[in-house]
Amino acid sequence: MRITVLAGGVGAARFLRGLKHAAPDAEITVIGNTGDDITLYGLRVCPDLDTVMYTLGRGINTQQGWGRAAETFSVRAELAAYGASPEWFTLGDRDFATHILRSQLLASGLPLSAVTEVLCRRWRPGARLLPMSDDPVETHITLADGEPRTVHFQEWWVRMGAEPAAAAITAVGAARARPAPGVLDAIDAADLVLFPPSNPVVSIGTILAVPGIAAAVAAKTVVGVSPIIGGAPVRGMADACLAAIGVDTSAAAVGAHYGRDLVDGWLVDDTDKSAADDPGLAGIEVRALPLYMRDLPATAAIARAALDLAVELR
Ligand code: GDP
Ligand code: CA
Cα torsion angle, 306, 68, 32, 140, sign: positive
Q: What is the mean pLDDT of the chain?
A: 97
Residue of the nearest CA to atom 25 in ligand 1? 227
Query: 288, 269 in Cβ contact below 8 A?
Result: yes
**Cα 191 from Cα 290, distance rounded (Å):** 25
| pLDDT tens digit sequence for 79-107 | 999 999 999 999 999 999 999 999 999 99
Q: Which atom number of ligand 1 is nearest to the Cα of residue 269? A: 26
158 in a domain, yes or no? no
CATH code at position 210: 3.40.50.10680
Are 258 and 224 within 8 A, CB to CB? yes
Instruction: Say which ligand is closest to the CA of 52.
Output: 1
Asked if residue 234 has its Cβ within 6 Å of ligand 1, the reply is: yes
- Report pLDDT for 253: 98
From the CB of 197, is ligand 1 less than 6 Å away?
yes
Strand-pair category, 138-143 with 150-152 = antiparallel
Which pLDDT tens digit goes with each residue over 121-171?
Answer: 999 999 999 999 999 999 999 999 888 899 999 999 999 999 999 999 999
Question: Is 141 contained in some domain?
Answer: no
Distance (Å) from CA 279 to ligand 2 centroid: 30
Q: For 54-77, what is each residue's pLDDT tens digit?
A: 999 999 999 999 999 999 999 999
For residue 23, give its domain range.
2-135+175-313
Would residue 270 count as lying in a domain?
Answer: yes
The reported pLDDT for the residue numbered 312 is 98
Cα 98-54-97 angle, rounded to 5 deg: 15
Q: Does the pLDDT of residue 22 top 90, yes or no? A: yes
Q: Is residue 288 part of a domain?
A: yes
200 within ligand 1 shell (Cβ under 6 A): no
- Cβ–ligand 1 distance for 56 under 6 Å, the answer no
Strand ranges of the sheet holding 192-195, from the earlier edge strand across to the other edge: 128-131, 27-32, 2-7, 192-195, 222-225, 265-268, 285-288
SS3 sequence of 186-234: HHHCCCEEEECCCCCCCCHHHHHCCCCHHHHHHCCCEEEECCEECCEEC
| d(C-alpha 114, C-alpha 130), whole Å | 9
Q: Is position 167 within any domain? A: no
Atom of ligand 1 nearest to the CA of 233: 16
Is residue 48 in contact with ligand 1, taking CB distance under 6 Å?
yes
Residues 79 and 28: their CA atoms lie apart, in Å, by 39
What pTM, to 2 d.p., does this model score?
0.98
Tally of domains within the chain: 1
Taking 90 as the threshold, does the pLDDT of residue 300 lie above it?
Answer: yes
Taking the CA of residue 16 as centre, how many other CA atoms within 13 Å lie in the half-sphere pointing to its CB? 35
- Determine the pLDDT at residue 147: 82
Determine the pLDDT at residue 146: 82
Q: Where are the alpha helices (DSSP H) in 38-111?
A: 47-56, 74-81, 93-107
Cβ–Cβ under 8 Å, residues 299 and 17? yes
Percent of the chain with pLDDT strictly greater than 90:
98
The answer as to whether 152 is a domain residue is no
Residue 161 resides in a domain = no
The ligand that comes nearest to the alpha carbon of residue 234 is 1
Task: Answer yes or no: is pLDDT of 226 > 90.
Answer: yes
pLDDT of residue 269: 98
Does 93 reside within a domain?
yes
Q: Does residue 291 have its Cβ closer than 6 Å to ligand 1?
A: yes
pLDDT exceeds cutoff 90 at 49: yes
| pLDDT score recorded for residue 255 | 98
Say yes or no to pLDDT of 220 above 90: yes
